[in-house]
Chain A
Amino acid sequence: MSCAQHSRESDRRSPDHPGWPGRRGVLAGLAGVVSLPLLAACSSDDPLAAQAGNADGKNYIAGDGSVLEIAPAERGEPVRFRSTLFSGEPVSTEDLAGDPAVLNFWYAACAPCRVEAPDLQALHEQFAPEGVRFLGINVRDTIATAQAFERNFGITYPSVEDRGGEVLLAMTDYVPPQAVPTTIVLDRQGRVSARILGIAEPSTLRTLITTVLDEQA
């Protein structure tokens, strides 16, 4: 949405109509046809557009911390993908079924990933007894680099290697990750129940996990 700041509200739209812009979007579109480049001036409010015209060379699309939460009735199909863990073991979403899961898209040299890593590990330790599964999805690193990261931050949950983008491609069918890091919460049926773009605030993520934990399987 051109000028509309990404807010919780604007992100809380039904996943059944992912391509359907809100009323605001339609208005913005109509206005844009007439006065399109004028919008360029105000589009700096859009965190994605703001990253476009600068020269920071950070080489990833940063998130703004926006949260998308989907009510149980509006959730899409259960997420399905299969990949390989850094340990070499195959992993698929069927292994996660039955319990809530947290998917975290990361890589070692991404600064916000380094900030949220200790929080994720703490939440992993907190919720592991209740069956919540954490799975890292590394989008850039080789195994050695990823392991150095995990060693430093004491990460005990597994990560899959996704340099080829297979998991990312599979996720485009559901709620696509849009920034590094992106954290996705799956409910007990494997459906996407929440997505955080950017650094996951531990309190926010805890609430999101508790929500799906409290739902009946």
Chain B
Amino acid sequence: MSQQDNVRVARDEAAQANTPPPPESPAPDGGSPRGRQDVELPALGVWGTLRFAWTQLTSMRTALMLLLLLAVAAVPGSLFPQRPAGPGIVQNYIDDNPVLGEWLDRFQMFDVYSSVWFSAIYLLLFVSLIGCVAPRAVKHAKALRSAPPRTPRRLSRLPEYGRVVLESSGPAPVEAVEQAAKYLRKRGYRTEVRQEPDGGASVGAERGYVREVGNIVFHLSLIGVLVFMATGSLLSYRGQKILVEGEGFANTLIAYDAFTPGSAFSEEMLTPFSMTLKRFEYVYDRQSPTHYGQPLDYTAVLDVQDGPGDTAREVELKVNHPLDFQGTRVYLVGNGYAPVVTVRDGNGDIALQGPVVARVQDNVFTSLMTIKAPDARPDQLGFVGFFLPAAYTGEDGVAVSIDPAPLNPELNLNSYYGDLGLDEGDPQNVYVLDTENLTELNSRNLEAGGITLKPGESYELPEGKGSISFDGLKRYVGLDILYDPGKWGVGFFAVLALVALGVSLFVRRRRAWVRGTTGPDGSTMVEYGLLARGEDFGLREENLTLRRQFEKLWPVQAPEDIESTEGPIVVAGAAQNRVE
């Protein structure tokens, strides 16, 4: 990243220097005018101000600040309940803290990750990123086509330097340089051989262009991830549906229990498919003493139709193995019991009959039951209570469930009569019985007591209000239906970003020069130097490799110094490593 910093800082400085100097004020260094109050501030004008804002935004400093701000802004998301995670909890929080909750809601604290301010931060961050990467990509595209840099006059000043003097039987300088260039090309360098004015030749070589490519691709991939996440968020939808055994679902809005559309959702995007839950199978752990009764496997057997007019086929739906309908995925996310009940009203007519979905409360499937019979006459009837799949009544007379399997199903209900409040047309929570306009008929506190029903049993309500019977038991499944067309793009660019990051971290960018000259005694002298761009701990190794290769290629004169025959000399304290 240091390279990137350099580029950004350089851009910064260039940008500041580019701001038009004020006509009146001297400010010859083009530096910041801050801290000099007596100097009149330059008039930037609209265009200048925009350019100033742009360079500020695309500066590294701003990008880092935005990144930090993003991290800080994400904190409220873990402090306050979030709507996408659980709208119910948010509602409870607002109910519990009416004043604070309302103000927090005003600042979108319950929906932090799609709030205006959070979005502003990361959009600015990505604009900053684009503003930085785009010019760099252009610059690097030019660099890719340009020749390796000129050979420095004094190679010995480079951090890694070596020199070999050839025997008289060795090649001429030009030939030697060409052989060196060939070898460098084999090592992945891009080379250019040049004639030197004094009759010798040199080769300039550079490798590791792909490092900068990796760097740019990494940043572009991040932008790709954002674009596809945005597309996904626009076009995606997510819905929930509870399906009782024997019931069906067609992918139309009308069939959903709850539905969250993307910003650009339209009803035509719903893939037409339908499915019917044939049966639900479960396996609970019966071996382990510590995890007795834990679920091991859930399987929903569904009859699926891929479109209108298609023939039905049977499929198995398991947890984490979604069904796919042209990109729309159906996940099995929950299950529970739906006791089949019949409610008769005071006139003896059936007011309600069928499975009633009971909300699971814990891992032994203690379930909340709410039954509303708005068509009971003369009075509407309502029931609330528990369904217990494996009921066990303790000494205190309170029944609890002790196992998730339906070993001893039991309904424990209170009953009410009166106005359920459905006839005004206002939507109502199906799992909550609003008892405000209702009169209690059965409860533990009343003389009549609560209603306890086993399958097949029925109960006559007091005062001739009707009856309720527990006819049987069905299972239901909770389905999550998801469509996110941006998902694959996000995945592709996320992987690409990682690969590119790896490339930009592990590929070394270095330059090499080899110059062949005719020495004072007429023998060929080959000098070479290496320069790393950025940090490169392998540069020394590269020096030795080159030297070994040269010794293999040419008859090299033994150095005069005894020490140097044993290997390269490291000049301590200097930034130069010489191999002679």
Contacts and interface: CB of A to CB of B under 8 A. Distances in A.
Interface residues of B, number: 79
A136 B141 CA distance: 67
B549 interface: no
Interface in B265-294: 265-270, 272-274, 276
A139 B428 CA distance: 18
Contacts of A52: 258-261
B266 A152 contact: no
A23 interface: no
A216 interface: no
A109 B272 CA distance: 26
B87 A54 contact: yes
A40 B111 contact: yes
Interface in B389-447: 422-432
Interface stretch (A88-96, A126-134, A168-176, A206-214): A168-176
Contact of A114 (B84, B108, B353, B422): B422
Given A33-B230, A166-B248, A145 B354 contact: yes
A55 B252 contact: no
Contacts of B265: 48
A145 B375 contact: yes
Contacts of B231: 33
Given A35-B119, A36-B263, A55-B90, A111 B422 contact: yes
B424 A166 contact: no
B274 A111 contact: no
Contact of B123 (A1, A35, A147): A35
A177 B254 contact: yes
Nearest to A49: B261
Interface stretch (B187-195, B344-352, B450-458): B344-352
Nearest to A38: B119
A142 B252 contact: no
A148 B268 CA distance: 35
Contact of A139 (B227, B255, B266, B305): B255
Nearest to A3: B263
B202 to A, nearest CB: 51
A191 B308 CA distance: 17
B494 interface: no
B354 A173 contact: no
Interface string A8-28: 000000000011010001001
Interface residues of A, number: 69
Contacts of B423: 111, 114-115
Most buried by A among B246, B258, B423, B429: B258
A59 B427 CA distance: 9
Given A2-B264, A56-B427, A148 B376 contact: yes
A61 B253 contact: yes
Interface string A160-194: 00011110111111001111101000000000000
B256 interface: yes
B354 A18 contact: no
B578 interface: no
B252 A177 contact: yes
A184 to B, nearest CB: 11
A37 B427 contact: no
B267 A176 contact: yes
B253 A28 contact: no
A148 B114 contact: no
Interface in A37-67: 37-41, 43, 46, 48-49, 51-62
B259 A29 contact: no
Contacts of B87: 53-55
Interface in B335-392: 342, 345, 349-354, 372-377
Nearest to A167: B250
Given A109-B422, A111-B428, A172 B266 contact: no
A78 interface: no
Given A151-B349, A199-B425, A170 B430 contact: no
Contacts of A179: 253-254
A35 B254 CA distance: 30
B325 interface: no
A108 B91 CA distance: 27
Nearest to B116: A41
Contacts of A49: 260-261, 263
A176 to B, nearest CB: 5
B252 A111 contact: no
B251 interface: yes
A55 B88 contact: yes
A37 B252 contact: no
9 contacts: A35-B123, A37-B115, A48-B265, A49-B263, A57-B429, A61-B258, A148-B373, A172-B250, A178-B254
Given A152-B377, A172-B252, 7 more contacts: A33-B227, A36-B234, A51-B259, A52-B258, A55-B86, A145-B354, A148-B351
Query: Which 8 A-B residue pairings sit nearest by Cβ, starting from the closest?
Result: A165-B250, A164-B248, A144-B353, A57-B429, A115-B425, A148-B375, A37-B119, A142-B354
